[in-house]
Structure 1
Amino acid sequence: MNAIQLESKFSAMGARMKVREIPSHWRQGDRSWVSPRDFAMDLRRDSNGQFFELRVPTHLSELLEVSVMQALPEERHLLLAVRNGKQFDRFLCGHDEREWFVAAVPGGASSVRQAMDALQPEGVRDALARSQVSSRKRYARKNRAFRRQGEWFFVPEPSFVADEKLVLRNEPLQRGGGKPHMVEQLYRTGGEEVYVTKRFPNGLTPPEYRAMLLNDPAAKRWGWRMMRRNPGVYARGTVRHSDHETITLPFWHRVIMNTETQSRTMARVAFLD
């Protein structure tokens, strides 16, 4: 891994990037690496602002092959590839509105455009086709097919009618333990009820929650709250987030999360409402 070369690619698009090795620990009993087992690509912040950080356990430092598959400095985006033997992970790194971002990309993208396509879920691709959005505008935050704020797409559903008695006000919309997007009016259908706390950001089903309390009664004091996992969600009104410009939805829009959770590195992250 050539850290200097990687850092220069990020620098060309106006970003800082650091590679940090983390000591690995070997567990003799079952002969496996722990703390940590895998690498991580993340965004951190210091006195100089945001920077990208690739954290590499020492037992992987000689095994990982890290490269930039494509860089578009003028658009402030690049596609990073990390290979560990047969395991191949991709990350789209770039700038969106006010902040830098990193998104795990599912599938076999080899360019920035392919990565952006891979992050658009089926419902969004269908909306793009119906609305005949040009290739030039399909990655914009606003076009005829959708509005986008961060990882969330809002697809227009002008004929949708919600039961006003069940419409929630100022509700959080979040993925796993991420910072929530606050929605002025939100309506949900279906999904799975789960108990959520900081220790279990993706939630436990009622049977899992009861088993947890039987095993550890003190867990009852962990500040649980009921949420729905992977529901059908519709939004109307303003959608706010500190990292993004506020958007306003004048009528109901279907809420769809990007496909990042389909990647290996994000497979355990849930859509919570």
Structure 2
Amino acid sequence: MNINSLEKHFARMGARIKTVRHEPVQSRWGWNSRAFTGNFSVDVRQDRQGEHFVFNVSTLVEDRLDLEILQVAPKDRHLLLLVKDFENLHNPTKDRFLCGHDEREWFVAAVPGAVSTVVSAMESLKPPKVQMVQGRKGLNQKQRNKRRNKAFRRQGEWFFVPVPNADIDESLILHNEPIARSGGKPHMVEFLYRQGGQTLYVSSNRPDGLFENDYKKLILKKPKAKNWNWSTRRINPRVYARGEVRHPDHKTITLHEWHEVLMNQENQSRTMQHVAFID
């Protein structure tokens, strides 16, 4: 695994990276890497010198990994990392990571698709609707890379696309509502409205939740289940935001009209399993 060259490539964009090897320990269930699951991961950590990237790797698989920097963009403080896993010698798995600096912090994002440049990685992380709107607005590449342009506002992994004529039920507007991907620090939205989606019934007895039809079937079959302290959630609704959007790692943005809220495409990538960093 050619990890020695990583430091100089990360240094070109002003970052540090450390490699942490996880030795396996033997138990009656076999060999496992202590306090580390999976074969490898990319993370952002803090030490006395500040933030730095970390490449975690199990020594059980270290020799079969190949690391390659596809591109470094020093001016933008971004680079694209490719990790090949030769578990299958003739058909290695390939995982791409966009590493860079966004506003105040370093970040790492799992990149969907077989991209080879920083710009194409950034584009692949945009939701289809964002790509459609920026195309319709005729934005050039420089404009598309900005956090604020005619097509959208962006804060971290969240995109906000203007919807001037949004049909909003004022009585259902939520105040100071969090939005967050699983495991992430929430972004607090001053005014939030959810529309449509599916109702999910959740309780300690059914932590993964039941959709409405399954919930009704359960209650018919087992009436006492109605007393399981259920709460309801909405799955895949359309979400709209207005007002201030705050997050400790990002500059507060203000949306003066309703915007549709869309998350980046990171969760569409199988590489997400190798990202330890969560914004």
- Structure 1 equivalent of residue 43 of structure 2: 42
Letter in 2 for 1:24: P
Cα RMSD (Å) of the superposition? Answer: 2.9
The 1:195/1:267 distance shift into structure 2, 3 A limit, reads: farther
Residue in structure 2 matching 1:127, options 116, 133, 141: 133
The 1:28/1:264 distance shift into structure 2, 3 A limit, reads: farther
- Structure 2 equivalent of residue 107 of structure 1: 113
- Structure 1 equivalent of residue 6 of structure 2: 6
Structure 1's unaligned 5+ residue stretches are 198-202, 211-219
Letter in 2 for 1:175: R
Residue in structure 1 matching 2:93, options 87, 96, 110: 87
- SS in structure 2 opposite 1:143? coil
| 1:1-273 aligned within 5 A | 1-25=1-25, 35-85=36-86, 86-192=92-198, 193=200, 195=202, 204-206=208-210, 227-266=233-272
The 1:33/1:130 distance shift into structure 2, 3 A limit, reads: same
Counterpart CA distance in 2 for 1:143 and 1:50 is 29
Structure 1 residue 26: Cα displacement: 6.1
After TM superposition, where is structure 1 displaced by more than 6 Å over at least 4 residues in a row?
207-210
Counterpart CA distance in 2 for 1:148 and 1:171 is 17
Relative to the length of structure 2, the TM-score reads: 0.82
Counterpart CA distance in 2 for 1:196 and 1:41 is 34
Identity %: 48
**Structure number with bigger Rg:** 2
Count of paired positions: 253
Contact 1:194 1:229 survives alignment (8 Å): no
Counterpart CA distance in 1 for 2:247 and 2:271 is 24
Structure 1 residue 4: Cα displacement: 2.6
- SS in structure 2 opposite 1:261? helix
- SS in structure 1 opposite 2:184? coil
Give a deviation string over 1:66-90, Cα, whole Å, max 9, x none.
1111001121100001110221000
Relative to the length of structure 1, the TM-score reads: 0.84
Give a deviation string over 1:6-37, Cα, whole Å, max 9, x none.
011111111110111112356766x7867523
Larger RCO (CA within 8 A; separation ≥ 6): 2
